[in-house]
């Protein structure tokens, strides 16, 4: 005679294994999407750095030539 508790435990274990496999697949997809987002954000980050450098250079040039006016 089989143990009914063992059958329940085996069913629960099978459900847990299935859910963990699905979770692993979802995490793999999430990692791929995050890599794509990070790759696309690299251009935005580069542009932001370029703009910051431009702004700093303009401020330096305006200050060095005494052309910087006070804001209104």
**In which element (H, E) is residue 29 found?**
helix 4-64
Q: Measure Cα distances from 71 to 64, 66, 68 in Å.
A: 17, 14, 9
Could you list the pLDDT tens digit for every one of the 72 residues in the chain? Answer: 688 899 999 999 999 999 999 999 999 999 999 999 999 999 999 999 999 999 999 999 999 998 888 887
Exposed, middle or buried: residue 32 (CB in 10 Å: 0-12, 13-18, 19+)?
exposed
pTM: 0.61
| Count of Cβ atoms closer than 10 Å to residue 34 Cβ | 10
């Amino acid at each position: 005679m089989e143990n009914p508790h063992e059958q329940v435990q085996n069913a629960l274990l099978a459900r847990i294994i299935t859910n963990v496999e699905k979770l692993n697949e979802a995490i793999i997809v999430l990692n791929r999407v995050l890599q794509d987002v990070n790759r696309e954000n690299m251009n935005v980050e580069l542009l932001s750095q370029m703009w910051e450098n431009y702004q700093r250079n303009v401020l330096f040039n305006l200050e060095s030539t005494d052309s910087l006016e006070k804001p209104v």
